Structures are given as structure tokens and as C-alpha cells.
Structure 1
Amino acid sequence: MSLSRRHAAASLAAVPLALAATGTAATGTAQARSGGRGRPRAEVTVYLAGDSTAATKAASAAPETGWGMALPFFLADRLRVANHAVNGRSSKSFYDEGRLATILTAIRPGDFLFIQFGHNDEKTDDPARGTDPATTYPQYLRLYVSGARDRGARPVLLTSVERRKFDAAGTARPTHGAYPDAVRSLARAEGVPLIDVQASSIALWQRLGPEGTKGCFNWLDPGESPNYPDGKQDNTHFQPHGAIEVARLVARELKAKGVLAPSDVRRLDEAIPDSWITW
């Protein structure tokens, strides 16, 4: 598939007004400082484009938690998180639905655009979402990168957070095929900072092991949650603890790679209570 400039322009122009408020979660501290009159010049917004692993969840899904809900815990108050990640989206469907256009309408010079897809791009039997890691996946991701750069914002590419999968020997196994390497190659080619969440998360799951990781993912016993009366065994989505730990991985790498200043990253060594997550 070829993504022409005309295709990009047409999609960005056709933004339903109703999408303008979709999927946006901001920190209360940042909102309070702005006083509703526009944010202070020193404040920076971190826009997050992604899928259900990062998305803000409804109360009806609790305790399922996206790691984007926990990211503000690790960032300084001047960094406002606008979480536009949405369940079930791929780099293609997020773009085709005008959700990237919504972000690019709001983003300002100096802001960040964090880009993490892959889980639903892998669904190649679905023409609305599937992409090819060698061709269309990087083509779509380039639209996010160029869109941010054209507006003076700073794109950051993230590999897909890893699922919970272990072999019989208790070794954590990768599940994303060629998609993470496609992101790594694109980051090198475009000179974009890379946060390799796939690598850091699979290393964390290995340390925790098959049983320890159940407390990170949305594994629930029958009766444990009113939203899942029959229980749940979800190896893709997180409970609060898992979302917090993935957000910690992201924040640690943002600091280590110099994407954010040390003063903009906090609590890396603190235990964050699960109760801090709210729906």
C-alpha cells in the first residue's frame, strides 16, 4: 500500500469535532496551574497515541488499567499527559479514524508525541487494522513522526509492551514477531528517540516469572471483581500494579536516554500504591 500526501492531507482534514475530546486524560495539577486560561509557557504536553495497553479505562473495566494512566506519577508537574490511546486501534485504524489529526490539531512546538502500536497491527486478517511490519507499519508510523515534527513537536517511538507468555521451562517468550524490529529500524532511520518497552518489559516478566506476572496482568479469580464475576485470565492487559511498573519502565528509559531532563522524571525508586489509579 502506498500512503500518498493526498491521502494524508485528506484524512487530516476530515476530523469529526466529536473526536476532539476523545481519549484525553490530563493531570489535575497541570489543569489547576493553567487556570483555564491557557497553559503556562513552561508547561509541556505529552501526547500518547496507542492502543488498549496504554489507554485510559472506563470504571466498568476496572481493574484493567492502561500504562498511560500511571505515567503522570513519574513525570514532573509541568509535564501534562494527554492520553489519546484507544482500545483496539492499530497505527492504521488510529490514523484512518482521524485520531492522529485530532492530536496534531492540538499539539504545540516543544510538546511530545509518544507513539506505541503493534498489538492490533498484527491482526493482518482484519483489513481495517492489520499492517505489514516490512511496509505499511513503518509507513503509517512515519505519518505520526512527520506530523509531530512539522508542528515543532518531538516524536518518540515506543516498541510494543510485551504480553505475558512463558514456555514450559518458565522462559518469557516474545509475541510481537517482526513489529518491534520495524520500530527500532524506523527510529534509527528517522533519528527519533526509541523507548524499547518490548525489551524492558519482557526482561521484567522474566524476573517476575509465570506466577509473579499474574499480579501485573488482569488475572482475576471468580468473584474477585464485580466487573468480572467469572474471573479473568488476560495476558495482554494490566492491573494497576502492572500498569504502574510499565510506566516506570518508560519513565526510566526517558531519563536514561536524555529524552527528558532528570528533573522531569521522579519516583523511579518509589513504591507507587495501586490505589493511586482511579477510573
Structure 2
Amino acid sequence: MTLSRRTRWIFAGLLACWTAVQAQAPLPAAVNTDPLGALKIVLPEPANPALPTVMLIGDSTVRNGRDDGQNLGVEGQWGWGTPIAAYFDASKVNLVNRAIGGLSSRTYISGTHWQRTVAHLKRGDTLLIQFGHNDSSAINDNSRARGTIKGIGEESQDIVNQLTGQAETVHSYGWYLRFYIAQAKAMGVKPVIVSPVPRKRWDEAGKIGRSSGNGYAGWAAEVAKQEGVPFIDLNELVAQRYDAMGREAVMSLFPRVTPDESVHTNWAGALLNAQIVVASLQQQKAVPAEYILAADKVKLVLPVAKPKEDDRPVVDAVRVSKEAPMNAQLPSLFIVGDSTVRSGGQNGAYGWGERIAPFFDTAKINIVNHAIGGRSSRTFLTEGRWASVMAQLKAGDFVLIQFGHNDGGRIGDPASKRRASGPGIGDEVVDDPKPDGTSEQVHTFGWYMARYIADARAKGATVVVLSPIPHKDKWQQGRDFENFAQWGEQVAKAGGAQFIDLTLLVAAGYKGIGEEKVNAFFSDARTHTNEAGAVFNAARVVDGLRLLPGNPFAAYLSGAADAQR
């Protein structure tokens, strides 16, 4: 049922009154869960509650992750809400950045983050609101379910949220902005709407693409106009600055370690955006002049990189036995991957590749597990391990490939143990200097996977790409390894290989048996399975193989595989 505009405003007014009352009552601690999984984010509170506050709410372009730049210093990802604090006089006003990465105008409310933020607002405060980047996502899915209805109308959509299992009424982007505005005004707080920052994307004319008109920046502008509140068109203002700077200069405002990044700026980019927001606040007199420091009083402290040693072990190859087909006359199933595929019992850990043989009739097919702990799509190639597989591979064989657990990290950072691959599936390369003075050209994750697919298919083998098994703490909500799954599926399709979303298959299996049993499947805090977990995951791999078009493994599966169905 769709409510009339008048009814909605009455509802909003009542809700605002309720919020004002609730603000006086104790609320849960300001700890929120990152929508991608187990990352815990502790949001800041006003340093001096007696002072007025300028509060920021929004997404990762305002406050990125844990607000630490991933410990990469100026080359990390930063939201503009971090450097902007240096421009405010802390003796006269609190600058509190309570934006959360991954959220939309809808999920900031539905996730109770707005309720927690309201507890820190009072009459005379100012609220800066910037959403939009995540509002374009799906309204209902099993990944994030964060989208809003496009536009600023009163239409709504009733759903049963696939993530929460709860009924929910989803409104338009404009409806949610009006919600924040009405709530703020009811508390005597001054709302300021800020349009989302532009993406690092150029149109055919060589200009940065805008979101004005029939887009989130245009919708934000229209709501601000209708409600009579200040509006900072950050989308247009930053785009104008980008156009004036030129492409090369704009590229320097985004993390060099992730060339494909088009949304999240590095420190320099965040600082530029912050300066534009400050100038707009001053021009529109949206905050008292005394809140903002004179230019000669602004003291910017550059973030310093704090490399964290990658604690994922790299298994000594000498301790791993080399496998080969038992019967050269039979077809072989080669398995390629990391420690989640083969751990060898170290500290009680086993990978699914070590427990998959009983699901096959080994009188008809060889099972050859070349996986080794600590390797990525990059290092499995550079260490010559893929060459060993190719030396054994022949026409009619099969290859299962699963990487991703060790492909993250920063290229060039010694703490990442020289195994990080580049994000995406493109052909771009990043030079990784070596201690001996030479350098390695590091490719994208998709490039390495495409290389494996092409090499194996050239020998007449059937290739199946699998997304990584999920972590112990990332299967109940959200979507683990979303990017790696997407990249793996894309290169598999492009290269003529098959793809299995093992991440979701295992997660679905975990949900079927419950958290208590799943917790008993792991030998460590979150990554490596014990023998029972390895068997369970191996069965899920077989489930995925059965679902492949043409069922190419049907002739090789044993009765044990049937018993697991």
C-alpha cells in the first residue's frame, strides 16, 4: 500500500518526536558492523558535548573503512570527512565523522546507525548528509540489499529482505533524504545536503562524468531546494576541478596501488574534496564563521604508512610432496590453489582438495592435487608451479583452479610477501621492485586466471574456475570474496572455461547446518578447515561440478558422491 504525501509527513513528524525522546535514553554502544563482513567500526563521538557539533553521515567517500587508510598512509583510501577536521576550530566546535563505508541512505537507517547518531545530536548542531554511491545497488539481494528506488518520489516497494529475512518497505532516494532533513529540523539541527563525489570516469568529450539532472546529484539538489536547506553540489564542483586539472593530475588523486579505482580517493583526493566542502560552507554561510580556522591556522598532519606484516603463512615447498598422475592412461583431474585447497594437516588443517578423491572413481580418473599453502594466482605462476602442471597435462584432462585468499594486499609492500595481484581483469601492470634491483611486472588477478585457462585449454583440457571458500566469520551475512568471484566468472566466460561460485555454495551449506557445526569445521580462527570441514567443502565442490552444463564429470563420480546428495 502506498501512503499519501500528507500521511507520510505526519508519520515523519511523529517519528521525529519519537527520535527526540529516544535521544535522551541510553542507546547501544556506537559499534557498527561493516556490510561486507566482520570488520568492526567504532564510530567517533563529540569530543566535548558542551560544544556545538558538525556531524557528517554518508558512505565510504566520506569515511573509508576503519578511517586508517588501510595503514598505507597518503596512498591509502580516504574519505573527505577525515582531512576536513583540520579546518575546524576544535575549541569551538566538534567535527564528528560518522559516515560508514558500504551504506546507502536506506541502510544507514535500517542498520540502526542513524538511531545511534541521533543520540549525539542536539539543538544548534549542523548535519552534513552525503549518500548516493551505494543507493544504485540492488534493492533486494543476498549480497547487500542496500539500493533505494531511483528518484525523489513517494513510491515504495514492499520486500522480504533476503539478508535479514524481515519485511521491509523501501522508499526512494529522495524520500530518505527528506527523512533525515525532517528528523534534523525537528531536533533544531541544521541539515546540509551534499551531492556524491564524481567518479574518475571521462566522457567522450574528455570531461568527467556528472550525476546532475536525472541522477543522484540532481535528485539531491532537487530535495534540498524543495526543503529549503543548504546544498553543496560536490559532484559538480569536484568535476569542474578535475576538468581544469587534466587527466594525469586527476589520476594522482586516486590510489596508485589500485589503478582501476574510480570512486575512492587517496589522501590528496580526499583533501581536495574537503577543501571544496569547506569553501562551500563558508560561501553559503551554512555554519558560523568562527567554526572554520583561518588558512594560516590550519595544521594538516599527513597520515603515515604503518605496514602490517601479512600473517598468512607461505608453506615451504620442500615440505610439500609433488604429485603426479598414478595411471598415465587415464584422464586426470588437476587441482590448483592455496592452503584452503591443500594444507597437509599442518596444525590440524586440511583443504577440500585433499578430501575430494573419495567422491571420484579413481579407477577411471587420477586426482592430482598441486595446491600449496600461501600462494596466489601470481606466485603459483612465478614460482614455476603452473609449469609443473602443464608438463603433466594432456588432452582430455580437467583442471580446477581456486585462488583469491592470498591475492589481496598491496603490490610493492614487503609485508604482503610479494604475492598480491592487481585488482580486476584488465591488462594493466604494476612494477614491483625486488631487493636485487630488478623488478617484477605484476598483473591483475584476472590476467593470471585467464593465462591458466588459455594454457590448459590449448592442451585440450577442461578448465573450471572456483571462487574461494568463505571465511568462518563471513558466511552468515553479506558476501565474501565478491570481487574475486566476479572476476573469476568473467575470465572463465571470456576464456571458454566453466565457473563455480564455491563461496556461495559453501555459505549455503553452512547456513543449512548452523553456526555451531560450522564453527567446529575450522582449525584456526577463520580460514583453514579441519578434516570434517574439508570433507564438507569437498562435497560442495562436487555439488558444483554436477551443476555444470553437460555434467562433464558424471562418468567419473563414485557412489560416495551420490551418497552426499
User: What is the alpha-carbon distance in structure 1 between the residues aligned to residue 241 and residue 69 of structure 2?
Assistant: 28
Q: Which of the residues 236, 253, 276 maps onto 1:199?
A: 236
3-state DSSP of counterpart to 1:67:
coil
User: What is the alpha-carbon distance in structure 2 between the residues aligned to residue 163 and residue 154 of structure 1?
Assistant: 28
Aligned to 2:207: 171
Residues 95, 159 of structure 1: alpha-carbon distance in 2 compared, 3 angstrom cutoff: same
Structure 1 contact 66–237 (Cα < 8 Å) conserved: yes
User: What is the alpha-carbon distance in structure 1 between the residues aligned to residue 303 and residue 30 of structure 2?
Assistant: 28
Aligned to 1:19: 30
Q: Which of the residues 50, 60, 68 maps onto 2:81?
A: 68
TM-score, structure 1 as length reference: 0.80
Matched, 1:138 2:152: no
One-letter amino acid of the structure 1 residue matched with residue 83 of structure 2: A
Post-superposition offset of 1:236: 0.4
3-state DSSP of counterpart to 1:187:
helix
3-state DSSP of counterpart to 1:218:
coil
> What whole-Å deviation, never above 9, does each CA across 1:127-154 have from its counterpart, x for those lacking one?
6211112331111111111111111111
Aligned to 1:185: 222
Q: Which of the residues 102, 106, 120 maps onto 1:88?
A: 102
Matched, 1:161 2:172: no
Aligned to 1:225: none
Structure 2 contact 202–209 (Cα < 8 Å) conserved: yes
3-state DSSP of counterpart to 2:261:
strand
Aligned to 1:246: 273
One-letter amino acid of the structure 1 residue matched with residue 246 of structure 2: G
Bigger shift: residues 262-271 or 187-196 = 262-271
TM-score, structure 2 as length reference: 0.41
> What whole-Å deviation, never above 9, does each CA across 1:180-237 have from its counterpart, x for those lacking one?
11111111111111111011111111112211111112232xxxxxxxxxx5431100
One-letter amino acid of the structure 1 residue matched with residue 146 of structure 2: R
Matched, 1:112 2:126: yes
Structure 1 contact 252–268 (Cα < 8 Å) conserved: no
User: What is the alpha-carbon distance in structure 1 between the residues aligned to residue 195 and residue 138 of structure 2?
Assistant: 18
Residues 195, 60 of structure 1: alpha-carbon distance in 2 compared, 3 angstrom cutoff: closer
User: What is the alpha-carbon distance in structure 2 between the residues aligned to residue 217 and residue 90 of structure 1?
Assistant: 22
One-letter amino acid of the structure 1 residue matched with residue 57 of structure 2: A
Q: Which of the residues 114, 134, 147 maps onto 2:183?
A: 147
Instruction: Name the structure where helix makes up a greater proportion of residues.
Output: 1
How many residue pairs get aligned? The number is 257
Structure 1 contact 76–265 (Cα < 8 Å) conserved: yes
Post-superposition offset of 1:269: 8.3
> What whole-Å deviation, never above 9, does each CA across 1:72-108 have from its counterpart, x for those lacking one?
1112222211111111100011111111111112201
3-state DSSP of counterpart to 1:238:
coil
Structure 1 contact 163–175 (Cα < 8 Å) conserved: no
Matched, 1:50 2:51: no
Residues 233, 152 of structure 1: alpha-carbon distance in 2 compared, 3 angstrom cutoff: same
User: What is the alpha-carbon distance in structure 2 between the residues aligned to residue 239 and residue 86 of structure 1?
Assistant: 17
Residues 269, 187 of structure 1: alpha-carbon distance in 2 compared, 3 angstrom cutoff: farther
Bigger shift: residues 232-241 or 58-67 = 58-67
- Aligned pairs for 1:220-259 (under 5 A) are 220=257, 231-259=258-286
**RMSD of Structure 2 on Structure 1 (CA):** 3.1
Post-superposition offset of 1:71: 1.1
User: What is the alpha-carbon distance in structure 2 between the residues aligned to residue 272 and residue 243 of structure 1?
Assistant: 16
Bigger shift: residues 49-58 or 186-195 = 49-58
Select the structure of larger CA radius of gyration: 2
Post-superposition offset of 1:275: 1.2
User: What is the alpha-carbon distance in structure 1 between the residues aligned to residue 271 and residue 42 of structure 2?
Assistant: 19
User: What is the alpha-carbon distance in structure 1 between the residues aligned to residue 228 and residue 204 of structure 2?
Assistant: 39
Structure 1 contact 55–83 (Cα < 8 Å) conserved: yes
> What whole-Å deviation, never above 9, does each CA across 1:21-69 have from its counterpart, x for those lacking one?
855336xxx83xx4xxxx33xx211111100000154347241111100
Structure 2 contact 198–235 (Cα < 8 Å) conserved: yes
User: What is the alpha-carbon distance in structure 2 between the residues aligned to residue 157 and residue 100 of structure 1?
Assistant: 16
| Greater RCO structure (CA 8 Å; 6+ sep) | 1
Matched, 1:265 2:273: no
Structure 2 contact 83–270 (Cα < 8 Å) conserved: yes
Post-superposition offset of 1:249: 0.3
Structure 1 contact 251–268 (Cα < 8 Å) conserved: no
User: What is the alpha-carbon distance in structure 2 between the residues aligned to residue 241 and residue 85 of structure 1?
Assistant: 19
User: What is the alpha-carbon distance in structure 2 between the residues aligned to residue 215 and residue 183 of structure 1?
Assistant: 28
Structure 1 contact 244–272 (Cα < 8 Å) conserved: no
User: What is the alpha-carbon distance in structure 2 between the residues aligned to residue 268 and residue 166 of structure 1?
Assistant: 32
User: What is the alpha-carbon distance in structure 1 between the residues aligned to residue 216 and residue 225 of structure 2?
Assistant: 15
Structure 1 contact 170–209 (Cα < 8 Å) conserved: no
User: What is the alpha-carbon distance in structure 2 between the residues aligned to residue 234 and residue 57 of structure 1?
Assistant: 15
List gaps (5 residues or longer) in structure 2: 33-40, 154-171, 307-565
3-state DSSP of counterpart to 2:209:
coil
Structure 1 contact 218–233 (Cα < 8 Å) conserved: no
